[in-house]
Amino acid sequence: MYKIKKCLAVLVCMAMVMAVMPGVALAGELKEESDAYTADGFGYRIAHGDGDYFDRDCCIITDYNGSNSRISVPSEIEGLPVTIIGSAAFDRDCITSITIPASVEELWEWPFTGCTNLQEIIVDPNNKRYKSIDGVLFFIYEEGGMSLEYYPRGNTRTSYVIPYGVKSIIEMYNEYLTSITIPDSVETIWGMYCPNLTDLYYTGSEEDWEKIESMDKFAFPKMISNATIHYNSPMPETAPLVPEIKVTVNGSKIDFDVPPTAIDGTTMLPVRLALEPLGAEFVWNGENNTVTITAKGKTIVLTIGSATALVDGIEKLMAQPAMATDGRTLIPIRFVSEELGYDVQWDGDTYTVIING
C-alpha cells in the first residue's frame, strides 16, 4: 500500500513540477482530513487497526496550523503512537526545521509540499525507517541502502554530494543548488528540479547514466537542462558513506574477501564463508553454474543468474538471483538461511546481519 502511494506521489510531483515548480496547486487535494488538533497546532486523525493496512491503532499527522519555525512532531497523541505523516501535512512557509520522532514509520505523498523555507529535517536516531544526514531525509531499506526521500527546499547551500549507496532520489527540488554529485549506486530519479544547477558530477559512465530510470525520459532532461554532466567523476572524500554491512555467525564476526552487498533491500553474502561455520556443505558444478548447499537434512540448488531455487526439489522464487563476483558465489542470505532452518536478524543501527543456527 505504501509503495503504491509513493508511486502516485511521484506522478503528482512530476505533473506539478512541469507546470510551475514554485506553486503547489494540488496541496489541498492531497491533504488528509483532520479529526482534531493538539495544543501546539498538529492536526491528526486516529486510524484503527483493521488487520489489513493498519495492524494497530495509531495516529496520522494530517496538518499543522501553528506559526513556529522549528517544530517537533509528537511521538504520541491520545496515548497512541504517531506512525504516519500524512499527505501534504506540512504546507507552511514559516517552517524552517522539522524533527521526526522514532515512532514514525511512513511518509505519505508530498508531506512537506509547501515548506518553501524548510532548511533541515532532523530524525530521532532511534528511528528504524528514516535517518537524516546533514539535514536531508533518507529512507533506510530493510537490509541496507537508502533512498533520498526529501531534500529541504529552503536549504541554501550551493553544492551537495549524495551519499554512495543511495538507490533512488524521490524528491529533490531546490533553487540554490548549483552543483550536485550523484553516485553510480543511484538506479532511479523520480523528482529532481534544480533550475540553477550548472554542474552535475556522476561517478559512473555515460552508458550507466542512460540506464537510470526516471519518471519521464523527456521531462527529466529539461529539469537539469542548464547543467553540464561530468561522467566518471570520483566521489569526494568528504562524502558521507553508507556503513559497510557486517555479519556475525553464532556471535562471531565474519570477515569476507568479497564484501557483502545489498541489492534492492536484499543482502547478498559469499555463501561458503557465511554458512560453513554452521556446518553447511557445498558442491560447485562449473558446467551448469550451480551450487548445491546441504544442511540440516535439506538441500538447496542455486543457479548463477537465476532467481529460482530448488529446495528439496521444489522450485521457489528468491528476491535476487545468486551471483558470481571475484570468484565467490553470493547468495540472498535471508532466503537461503531461513530455508535451511537458521535464524537471520538485521540490526539496522549497526548494519549487521546476525545469523544463528
Strand partners, 45: 60
pLDDT for 256: 83
Query: What's the rounded Cα separation, in Å, for the pair 344 and 357?
Result: 9
| Count of Cβ atoms closer than 10 Å to residue 319 Cβ | 15
pLDDT for 2: 37
Grid cell locating 69: 519555525
pLDDT for 18: 42
| 2-230 carries CATH number 3.60.15.10 | no
pLDDT for 238: 60
Grid cell locating 314: 521444489
The set of residues, in sequence order, having a beta carbon less than 8 Å from that of 166 and lying 6+ positions away, is: 138, 145, 146, 147, 148, 183, 185, 186, 242
pLDDT for 13: 46
Q: Where are the domains of the chain?
A: 2-230, 246-356
Query: What's the rounded Cα separation, in Å, for the pair 134 and 163?
Result: 11
88: left (phi over 0), alpha (psi -120 to 50) or beta: left
pLDDT for 28: 58
Q: Is the Cβ–Cβ distance between 179 and 228 less than 8 Å?
A: no
Q: Model-level pTM?
A: 0.65
Grid cell locating 191: 523528482
Q: Is the Cβ–Cβ distance between 286 and 329 less than 8 Å?
A: no
| Count of Cβ atoms closer than 10 Å to residue 119 Cβ | 18
Q: Among 203, 165, 167, which Cα is nearest to 184's?
A: 203
Q: Among 122, 157, 115, 126, which Cα is nearest to 136's?
A: 122
pLDDT for 183: 93
Mean pLDDT by 10 residues, the chain (357 residues): 40 44 53 89 90 80 94 95 94 93 92 91 89 91 84 93 91 92 91 90 92 68 79 76 79 85 78 88 89 92 91 88 83 89 83 87
pLDDT for 152: 95
**AA letter at 266:** T
| Count of Cβ atoms closer than 10 Å to residue 23 Cβ | 10
Architecture of the domain delimited by 246-356: 2-Layer Sandwich (3.30)
pLDDT for 334: 87
Residue 292 backbone phi and psi in degrees, to 5: -105, 125
For residue 333, give the H/E element and its range: helix 333-339
pLDDT for 141: 85
